[in-house]
Structure 1
Amino acid sequence: MKHFIIVALILLSITSCNYAQQPTSIKSELPERISNYEDWKKEAESNIRLNPKFGNAVKSEEQKEADQRLIDDYLKQQGSHHKASEVLVKLGFDYLYRGDVRTSMYRFNQAWLLEPKNENVFWGYSAVYFTLGNHEMAMEQLNEGLTLNPNSSNILTDKATIYFAKFPTSNDPKDLSAALDLLNQSYKIDSTNQNTLFKLSVVYLMKKDCKNALKYYDECNTLGGKPITKEFKTALQELCGKK
C-alpha cells in the first residue's frame, strides 16, 4: 500500500524542479480551467493553440502576421531565438504550476515559434499532457524532445516518471527497471538534477532498496531538497529508518 502512496505523492512533480519557481503575479488569459483530457481534446478541435506545434495547421495571413510580431517582440527583448524560447518555456511551466493548463500550452507553442528545435518545448508539451492524465501523449512528446537532444537530463527523468507511475497498476517489474535505467542515464548527464535524485530515491524505495533510496535522498537533500515532500520523507523514515 505504501508504494501506491509514494507514487501518488510524486506524480505532480513530473516537471523538473529546474523550472519550479516561486509564484509570480501572473493572470490567466481565460478564467475557465480544463482539468481532463476529453474536454481538452474537444476544445482543441477548434483551438489550434491547444495542440503541440499548433497541430501543424495551415494558418491564415493574419495569424502569420501575429506570429511574426510575437517573434520580433521577443527577439528585441531577449536578443536571440533560444533565450526568447526559454523565457516562454519558463512562463509555460509557471502557468502549469498554477493550474492554468490552457495558457501553459499557449506559452509552449509560442516558445516553439521562437525555436522549433528547442527540446524543452517538448518537455513542456509532455508536462501538459501528463497533467491532463494522458501518459501516452506525454511520452510521445518526450520522445520527440529526445530526438532533438538525447542527453536532456530533464526529459530522461520525466520519461522515467511515466514508467514508474504505471507500476501500481501494471505491477510489472519491467516498468521499474525501465524507469531506473532512464534515471541512471539522467544522473550520469547531470548528477546535480534534484528532480532526478529525488526520483531515484523514490524508485529505489519502491524496489525496497533502502541503501540506495537513502543515498539519493541524501544527495538531493544536500543540494537543497527542493522536490522532496514531507510525506515522502515520512515514508522513508517508516520504511528505512531515516532520521
Structure 2
Amino acid sequence: MKRILIFSLFLVFLTNINFSRAQDCPQGINLIPMYGQVKKCTQQIQSDNQFIEEAEKQFKNKKAASEYYANKGWEYFYKDELDTSMKRFNQAWLLDNENPNAFWGFGNILGKKKEYEKSVVYLEKSIALDPNNGKVFYCAAVSYGQIFMEKNDKKYLDLAIKNLNKAVKIEPKNGSYYAQLANSYAYYQKKDSLNKYIRKTDEIDPKLINPEVRKFAKK
C-alpha cells in the first residue's frame, strides 16, 4: 500500500513538472508575426534548431529554404487558411529574418484580419528590405486607405497616395494602382487628378474604375 501511495505521488509530481514546463513555454506564438518576439522556452528553441538543421539539409542554404516556406505561406493565404499561412511565414522568417516576403505576408494577413495599423508596420519593413516590389506599396496603400476610413485623418490618405505613386513607378502598366489613385483623389474631390487617373486606368482596363467614382468625376 505504501509503494502504491509513493508511486501515485511520483505520478502527481511528474504531472506537475510537465504542467510547469508547459506553462513556461509561451503558447500560440506561431500564430503571431515573428513569434511575437517573445522569449521562447528551451523546448521551443530546440525545436527551432532542429527545424533549421533539417531545412539546411533539404535546401542549398537557409535563404532558399526561407523562400520555399514563404511561397507555402502565400499558397495558404490564397486558400484563406490564415493560421497555417502565418505559421509558414514565421518559418520563413525564422530561416531568414531579412526575407521581405515574410514581412509582406505578415502585413497581408493582418490586413485581411482588419488590423490595419499593425499591417502597415510589417509592410513598411518589407519595403525597407525590398523597395522594388510595387505590390507591397499597393498593399500598404490599401491598409493606409482603410485607416483613413476608420479615423477620417487625411494624413493616412496622403500616405496611401504616396505608396500608390511609388507602386506605379515600379509597375506603370498595372491598372489596379491607377484605379486606387482615382479612388483616393475622389475623397479629396480633386477632379483634375481624379480624371487623370480614370483615363490612365481606362487605357489598361475600364472595368477597374468604380462606377460611383466615374459618376462623381462627371458631375
So what's the TM-score if we normalise by structure 1? Answer: 0.64
Of residues 164, 168, 193 in structure 1, which corresponds to 2:145?
164
- Greater alpha carbon shift after TM alignment, 131-140 vs 198-207: 198-207
Query: Would the aligned equivalents of 2:65 and 2:92 in 1 still touch at CA under 8 Å?
Result: yes
Of residues 182, 190, 198 in structure 1, which corresponds to 2:176?
198
Deviation at 1:135, TM superposition (A): 0.9
1:100 aligns with 2:88: no
The residue number in structure 1 matching 2:53 is 72
Query: Would the aligned equivalents of 2:30 and 2:86 in 1 still touch at CA under 8 Å?
Result: yes
The residue number in structure 2 matching 1:110 is 91
Deviation at 1:237, TM superposition (A): 9.5
Question: What does 1:31-70 align with in structure 2 at a 5 Å threshold?
Answer: 46-70=27-51
The residue number in structure 2 matching 1:207 is 185
Cα separation, partners in 2 of 1:217 and 1:94, compared to 1, 3 Å: farther
1:137 aligns with 2:118: yes
Cα separation, partners in 2 of 1:145 and 1:238, compared to 1, 3 Å: closer
Query: Would the aligned equivalents of 1:205 and 1:213 in 2 still touch at CA under 8 Å?
Result: no
Return the alpha-carbon distance in structure 1 between the equivalents of residues 216 and 64 of structure 2: 43
- Greater alpha carbon shift after TM alignment, 61-70 vs 124-133: 61-70
So what's the TM-score if we normalise by structure 2? Answer: 0.70
Letter in 1 for 2:200: K
Letter in 2 for 1:56: Q
Letter in 2 for 1:138: S
Q: Computing the radius of gyration over CA atoms, which structure comes out larger, 1 or 2?
A: 2
Cα separation, partners in 2 of 1:207 and 1:58, compared to 1, 3 Å: closer
Structure 1 unaligned regions, length at least 5: 1-44, 222-227
Structure 2 unaligned regions, length at least 5: 1-25, 187-193
Q: Would you tell me which structure has more helix in proportion to its own residues? A: 2
- Greater alpha carbon shift after TM alignment, 91-100 vs 74-83: 74-83
Return the alpha-carbon distance in structure 1 between the equivalents of residues 200 and 92 of structure 2: 37
Cα separation, partners in 2 of 1:78 and 1:214, compared to 1, 3 Å: farther
The residue number in structure 1 matching 2:67 is 86
Deviation at 1:206, TM superposition (A): 4.5
Cα separation, partners in 2 of 1:129 and 1:169, compared to 1, 3 Å: closer
Identity %: 28
Higher RCO structure (Cα 8 Å, ≥6 apart): 1
Cα RMSD between the aligned structures?
A: 3.0
Deviation at 1:129, TM superposition (A): 1.1
Cα separation, partners in 2 of 1:175 and 1:157, compared to 1, 3 Å: same
